[in-house]
Structure 1
Amino acid sequence: MELINMTLHTLFLIMMLNLSLQHKHLMLTLMCIEAMMLILLMMLIIFTTTTQTISQTPMPFILLTISVCGASIGLTLVVAITRTHGNDFLKNLNLL
């Protein structure tokens, strides 16, 4: 169990590093965020199964629901930006 926790923490840190280094495409940035959410979901599922508390049982489902909503909004933004600008390069967007 400790190996799984260490692996998930390492994967989360790698995704955070990848997110900070990803400066080209919006889609790759959103994929890094989605991978981080899936890693958090796995950590939360492991935590709730090991503690066996009834009050924390719906938390993975709530996190998964919020993650799906965020992914759909992100995909909508990618489609809208691609239609207006022709690509999803982050350097072409004026974020100010």
Structure 2
Amino acid sequence: MSFIHLSFYSAFTLSCLGLAFHRTHLISALLCLESMMLSMYITLSIWPIENQTTTFTMMPVLMLTFAACEAGTGLAMLVASTRTHGSDHLHNLNLLQC
């Protein structure tokens, strides 16, 4: 395993750990999700170059599109929860009530 692979795998693992342990604010969870998507995007961008294949060249663009949709939806949820509940603390959010 090269240093590049190790660095991107560790970035993905650290963002997963950040998502698991930093669950106080919605914005910190969204930032951890974005870092996971960024590390997956860079890994998927490097992988076809290393394998010298053109089969998966559109996969990073598709991943980037889904990441942008996820970021927009997450920010809309952040604004809506801040307006209704007054804060972005995750323990204040209850998905069973409107």
Length-normalised TM-score, structure 2 = 0.93
**Once the two structures are superposed, what CA deviation does each residue of 1:23-75 show, in whole Å capped at 9, x if it has no partner?**
21001001100000000001001101112222211110000001100110000
Aligned residue type for 1:17: L
Partner of 2:95: 95
Give me the whole-angstrom Cα distance separating, in 2, the residues matched to 1:12 and 1:55.
Answer: 24
Unaligned runs of 5+ in 2: none
Partner of 1:83: 83
Give me the whole-angstrom Cα distance separating, in 2, the residues matched to 1:51 and 1:3.
Answer: 17
Tell me the secondary structure at the aligned position of residue 39 of structure 2. helix
Give me the whole-angstrom Cα distance separating, in 2, the residues matched to 1:52 and 1:11.
Answer: 24
Partner of 1:56: 56
CA RMSD of aligned residues (A): 1.2
Partner of 1:66: 66
TM-superposed deviation, 1:95: 2.7
Identity of aligned residues (%): 42
Tell me the secondary structure at the aligned position of residue 55 of structure 2. coil
Partner of 2:32: 32
Unaligned runs of 5+ in 1: none
Q: Which runs of 4+ in 1 moved over 6 A?
A: none
Give me the whole-angstrom Cα distance separating, in 2, the residues matched to 1:42 and 1:2.
Answer: 15
Length-normalised TM-score, structure 1 = 0.94
